[in-house]
Amino acid sequence: MPSTHDKPADQITDRPDGSPVPPSPPAPIPLGVITTCGIALLIAAGILGNIDPLFDYQATFRPGYVRKPAPGDTDGGPPPQEALAAYITQGAKIYATKCITCHGPEAKGDGSNFPPLAGSKWAIGETQRFSMIILNGLRGPMSTGKTYAAGMPSQAQGLTPEGLAGVMTYVRNHFGNHTGDVVTVDMAKSALTLSAARPHTGQQVTSEELTNDHLKALPGHSILPQSPVNPITLTPVHIPKPTLP
């Protein structure tokens, strides 16, 4: 019987003692081959990315696409804004449509027929008194004791709670006024309810009624000036804190 040493290596089936020879492990892939394949793949991907729209971000991206809010996400609305800034932005628009013609662009009045709101004690004082003036108008005397002949007509028409809250916050924090607080939509809703329940509905408020019935803060939820709100609805936005793993 010929010795196993005479056979080529790949024909050796058994060791001299008869035990089977374990199969030799596959030869490692040479580094050069891996590198070459890698480069080839990169080139192919580059070409595909340029010619095939399936691989092209711009072509697969739908214009105007807005992602759906994830669970626990904010309400999916516009990016939140700081409350004071958001209220002031909306309030400035209401002022420009409802108040500017009489009180003037700088809220300085006109010196004869209309009083200033810059520095007005009744604008920066108790919020309920201020809201009753806007919703019902005012028959003088006003805060300084002076009476303006025409009086102020009610500004309630078309005024939403958001508009009322905005214009009050704006006047209280602009024109050199600086209360630093937000009159919230919730407080403005209270103002509308209180105004509708006045015994003199439909008549302008007087300084007497203001002092007797409305020398207080409007009831309702308050908001910290820097807390985030939806800039359209002015309602608070809950921003979830990132949870640590």
Alpha-helical regions (H) of 52-154: 57-60, 83-98, 100-103, 121-124, 127-136
Nearest 10 degrees: CA dihedral of 219, 224, 229, 232? 50
Place of tokens 């003692």: 17
Find the binder of ligand HEC among 84, 86, 118, 123 (CB under 6 A). Answer: 123
Interface stretch with ligand HEC, choices 4-12, 79-87, 146-154, 179-187 (CB under 6 A): 146-154
**237 is an interface residue for ligand HEC by CB under 6 A:** no
Single out the residue of 122, 181, 183, 220 in contact with ligand HEC (rule: CB under 6 A). 122
**Nearest distance in Å: CB 185, ligand HEC:** 16
Count the helices and strands in the chain (H runs, E runs).
9, 4
Shortest approach of ligand HEC to residue 214 CB, angstroms?
12
Smallest gap from residue 122 Cβ to ligand HEC (A):
4
If one asks whether residue 85 binds ligand HEC (CB under 6 A), the answer comes out as: no
φ, ψ dihedrals at 103, nearest 5°: -85, -10
Contact 223, 180 (CB under 8 A): no
189 binds ligand HEC (CB under 6 A): no
* Identity of the amino acid at 88: I
The reply on whether position 156 binds ligand HEC by CB under 6 A is no
Bridge pairing between strands 205-206 and 138-139: parallel
| Nearest partner of 77 among 243, 234, 240, 241, judged by Cα | 234
Min dist CB 204 to ligand HEC, Å, is 8
152 binds ligand HEC (CB under 6 A): yes
Q: Measured from the CB of residue 176, what is the shortest distance to ligand HEC in angstroms?
A: 14
Owner of token pair 């309702």: 220
CB of 145 to ligand HEC, least distance (A): 9
Return the half-sphere exposure (C-beta side, CA atoms, 13 A cut-off) of residue 138: 22
- Using rule CB under 6 A, residue 235 touches ligand HEC: no
DSSP string, 210-231: HHHH--SPPPS----TTSEE-T
Among 80, 86, 87, 115, binds ligand HEC (CB under 6 A): 115
The answer to whether 101 contacts ligand HEC (rule: CB under 6 A) is yes
| Shortest Cβ 77–ligand HEC spacing (Å) | 27
Task: List interacting residues with ligand HEC (CB under 6 A).
Answer: 98-99, 101-103, 114-115, 117, 120-123, 130, 133-134, 138-140, 142-143, 147-148, 150-153, 155, 167, 171
